[in-house]
Amino acid sequence: MTADLLHAAIDEATLFDAWRKVRANQGAAGVDGQTIEQFGTNVLGRLQTLRDHVRRGEYRPQPLLQWAIPKANGKLRYLAVPTVRDRVLQTAAALVLTPLLDRAMEHASYAYRSGRSVQMAVARVAYWRDQGYQWVVDADIEGYFDNIPHGLLLDKLRRTLQDHSLVPLIELWLAATIQPADGSPPYLLTKGVPQGSPISPVLANLYLDDLDEAVLARDMRLVRFADDFVILCRDPAQAQQALELTEATVEALKLRINREKTRLVHFDEGFRFLGVDFIRNLMLAAQPGAQPWVIPDATTRQRAALHDTPAEAPDTDRHANEPPEPMVGETIHATTPPVPTGSQRPVGAYDGMQPYDSSFHANNDTDATAEDDPEPRIQLQHDDRLPPLLRSLVIGEHGVLILKENDRIIVARQGSELLSWPLQKLDEIHITGNALVSTALLRQCSRDGIHVTVSDSTGINHAHLGAPHPLADAHCHAQQVQRLADNDWSLMMARAVIHGKIHNQLCLLRRYNRRRRLTPIDQAIEQLDAMRSRLATTQTLDQVRGCEGQAARAYFGALHHLVPPQWTFEGRRKRPPTDPVNALLSYGYAVLHRTMVTLLVRQRIDPYLGAFHAPRAGHAALASDLIEEFRAPVVDTTVVHLLLSDTLTPGNFDTECGTGTVLLDKHARQTLVQALHAKLRSHIVHPSAAARMDYHRAMLWQVRHYRGVLAGRPPVYTPFLLR
């Protein structure tokens, strides 16, 4: 074993890169019980030993630990987990093979390839539909991954590669011994690629390349994502030919078409592909996670039309040469969770502190509250509905070192690594604890456009680092200055955002009082309604501020009757917050404010030039303006639910000596931040866009709407209004 590809795979740098990917992906221990953390001790020595074993021909993979995972339909899915050592070597081989195999594959294949995604595959189907390809072969291969014949797969690999030095290793990995986790007798894998092995996705993708070539050679239109594919044709005769060609090609690959699930269909009848229902000219998300694929962005549509998939484009699913992420049961925690001991650790469990990217949502959306359960307890559950708009990392630990190592952010304390996360998977970093931050990390974040904010224990932001370019482009900044010099325009903006704020406060109070029927809350609703009506007659910004102030007093007075008495909440107290409820509200508003600042800066709008909030040094007044309509549905709703569900107690707060400021302890901060991020990921129907989205996207929609109003298209700002 002394050829170029093998040398490249066991090169020290390649093996170390592979180890980093395996470590980032985490996952369970294999049959030897060795965890990621245990392998990481003396990792350089372990990698050198692995390298030597391969060079001397002494390497033999260990059996795969098989787990049976229940699926939603009641059936079982089997994952076969290699040991950490074997995962590292397979990942190194994938790193070397993927670029070579990718060049040999057809443009119609969208899975496990850098720069391609489910969203692009869905957009491609819509593109061919719009070009007149209305007849579809909707095909299904029976048990594809479990039935790939090893001999034909290896032949395909040899035909594709000039250098065969890695083929013997792949033969060893395919002919694996499977050890069921339930204690059943082990058995030898004679066909199929084990799901759970890092090398399997690229091999499975390669094997169906013959199908791609056969279909495309007949001038038919194919869209394939792993073993899910559709063939689009102009007429039923061509569709019948495509079906016959598919059956013959799949049979030649020693696989079988599932005839019960394979059919010829017209777009008028409809069919489902990758979680999306195509019906006539409509695309409907059949599963919650498919919602973002229904409305692809402009770049995705353009690539779908032009076959434009540059190598440097980001892979929105995951990098093709990374080990597959856990398929089921994955859980991402913000702090270190308890880990089961021994080899019974659940497949897909993650260790360590992780970013708030998309992992949980809270069942606390007032828009979806049932009539008979107005105050459901917050339940954290997996959220695979929409990819995160902003991937945020919140670091609240004190006394930690935050630095950059290669292209990852590292959080460590006293030599122990608490977190390692790829910078390319972050949009913003919030540092709320007292920490030392390396300038190398800050420079990298600035170059990559990752926004870094530093705040204190009350949530107030004290520093913000963004991209090196100005906060706003020159044209937009000039428009802002010109508009704000127009008193009528400023008055229009101020009325609109406060109208949205009061309207959403009214919605919250009405929903909570639907069953309580408390007289003080009814009275507050009448006062808020009167203030909302009075807004239309205001002639100055001060009059608008007066209406907002009176409405706020009535609103927070009503919240006093909703909050349990042990919280001693008498009304809004801002600077400083003197009770736990005000501390929660202030911290939550600060989180919402810095999120809005990030969205504004990403849209190249100056966040400091606002209409309603009076300008003052260092205050992002426009961000304060635009969060007004989101305070009640996002922050207030979250805080009230935390209190009503007994998720927090008064014991989770401290009072600062001398000032009387009430501060959240570590548990309260983590709970609130996680609940807020979950709330921002929960779904609503945006009233102006008439589309289902999460609150992050609703805020972005309002930011873009504001920029349009600056240009006079449309001339009047419409706030976000709950229904």
For residue 245, give the H/E element and its range: helix 236-252
DSSP annotation of 235 = S
User: Cα–Cα distance between 277 and 269 in angstroms, integer?
Assistant: 10
Start-to-end CA span in the chain (Å): 68
Is position 629 annotated in a ligand binding site?
A: no
Strands (E), 189-259: 221-225, 228-233
pLDDT of residue 330: 24
Q: 23-27, 284-288, 336-340, 631-635: which range is least confident on average?
A: 336-340
Mean pLDDT, to the nearest integer, of 257-268?
A: 86
pLDDT of residue 368: 34
pLDDT of residue 184: 86
| pLDDT bracket for residue 495 (50, 70, 90) | very high
| pLDDT bracket for residue 559 (50, 70, 90) | confident
Q: Which of 361, 331, 287 is nearest to 680 (CA)?
A: 361
- Residue 373 has phi, psi (to 5 degrees) of -145, 70
Instruction: Note the pLDDT tens digit of each residue in 350-375.
Output: 223 334 333 222 333 333 333 333 33
| pLDDT bracket for residue 652 (50, 70, 90) | confident
pTM of the model: 0.49
Q: Among all chains, which residue has been given the structure tokens 């390669």?
A: 206
User: Cα–Cα distance between 600 and 464 in angstroms, integer?
Assistant: 13
Q: Among all chains, which residue has been given the structure tokens 């600062």?
A: 656
Whether 204 contacts 144, CB under 8 Å? yes
Domain boundaries, the chain: 5-285, 392-465, 470-711
Mean pLDDT, to the nearest integer, of 94-121?
A: 84
pLDDT of residue 231: 93
DSSP annotation of 326 = P
Is position 628 annotated in a ligand binding site?
A: yes
Residue 421 has pLDDT above 70, yes or no: yes
Q: How far is CA 502 from CA 117, 532, 689, in A?
A: 41, 6, 21
Residue 593 has pLDDT above 50, yes or no: yes
Q: 32-41, 570-579, 591-600, 638-647: which range is least confident on average?
A: 570-579
Return the CATH superfamily for domain 470-711: CRISPR-associated endonuclease Cas1, C-terminal domain (1.20.120.920)
CA 360 to chain centre: 10
Average pLDDT of the chain is 79
β-pairing, 135-139 vs 392-395, is: unpaired
Instruction: Note the pLDDT tens digit of each residue in 293-346.
Output: 555 544 454 454 444 333 323 333 333 333 333 222 222 223 333 333 333 322
Helix (H, G, I), strand (E, B) or coil at 509: helix
In percent, the amount of the chain with pLDDT more than 70 equals 83
Q: How far is CA 575 from CA 33, 460, 586, 606, 669, in A?
A: 54, 11, 9, 26, 18
Amino acid letter for position 659: T
Mean pLDDT, to the nearest integer, of 79-107?
A: 88
Q: 105-109, 405-409, 459-463, 514-518: which range is least confident on average?
A: 459-463
For residue 483, give the H/E element and its range: helix 474-484
Whether 520 contacts 563, CB under 8 Å? no
Helix (H, G, I), strand (E, B) or coil at 138: strand
CATH number for the region 392-465 comes to 3.100.10.20
Fold for the domain defined by 5-285: RNA-directed RNA polymerase lambda-3 (3.90.1850)
User: Cα–Cα distance between 669 and 78 in angstroms, integer?
Assistant: 39
Q: 336-345, 570-579, 664-673: which range is least confident on average?
A: 336-345
Residue 634 has pLDDT above 80, yes or no: yes
Residue 603 has pLDDT above 50, yes or no: yes
Whether 498 contacts 717, CB under 8 Å? no
Instruction: Note the pLDDT tens digit of each residue in 168-221.
Output: 999 999 988 988 888 889 888 888 888 888 888 889 888 988 888 888 888 789
Residue 25 has pLDDT above 60, yes or no: yes
Whether 146 contacts 192, CB under 8 Å? yes
Is position 548 annotated in a ligand binding site?
A: yes
pLDDT of residue 442: 87
CA 332 to chain centre: 12
Which one is predicted more confidently, 207 or 382?
207
Whether 437 contacts 399, CB under 8 Å? no
pLDDT of residue 472: 59
Mean pLDDT, to the nearest integer, of 148-154?
A: 91
pLDDT of residue 320: 30
Task: Kindly report whether the peptide bond that precedes residue 576 is cis, defined as omega within 30 degrees of 0.
Answer: yes
User: Cα–Cα distance between 490 and 471 in angstroms, integer?
Assistant: 21
User: Cα–Cα distance between 583 and 572 in angstroms, integer?
Assistant: 10
pLDDT of residue 372: 32
